[in-house]
């Protein structure tokens, strides 16, 4: 697990997990901003700017989650 943030800095924190999906590993993202409408839900786009979430475009906030 990792705590990430979109490079736009408009959205809150996103936690990411590396899951086995459809015979391959993929990053799966969850909204970790308690004030967001999508808090704790799986998200595919940044809640702040709407850009698709891709690991290579995100900043690492922490490599360990609670």
pLDDT digits (tens, 9 = 90+) for 4-29: 999 887 878 899 999 999 999 999 99
**CA 10, 16, 19, 23 torsion: positive or negative?**
positive
What secondary structure letter does DSSP report for 36? S
pLDDT at 63 over 80: no
What pTM value is reported for the model?
0.84
Phi, psi of 39 (to 5 degrees): -50, 130
Distance separating alpha carbons of residues 22 and 12, to the nearest angstrom: 28
Q: Tell me: the pLDDT tens digits for 37-61?
A: 899 999 999 988 999 999 998 988 8
Provide the residue ranges of all domains of the chain, joining segments of one domain with +: 2-62
pLDDT, residue 64, reads 58
Task: Return the closest-CA partner of residue 18 out of 9, 26, 10, 6.
Answer: 26
Q: How confident is the model at residue 2 (pLDDT cuts 50, 70, 90)?
A: confident
């Amino acid at each position: 697990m990792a705590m990430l943030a979109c490079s736009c800095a408009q959205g809150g924190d996103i936690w990411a997990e590396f899951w086995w999906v459809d015979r391959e590993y993929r990053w799966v993202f969850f909204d970790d901003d308690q004030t967001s409408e999508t808090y704790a839900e799986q998200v595919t786009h940044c809640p702040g700017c709407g850009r698709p979430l891709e690991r290579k475009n995100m900043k690492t906030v922490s490599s360990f989650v609670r």
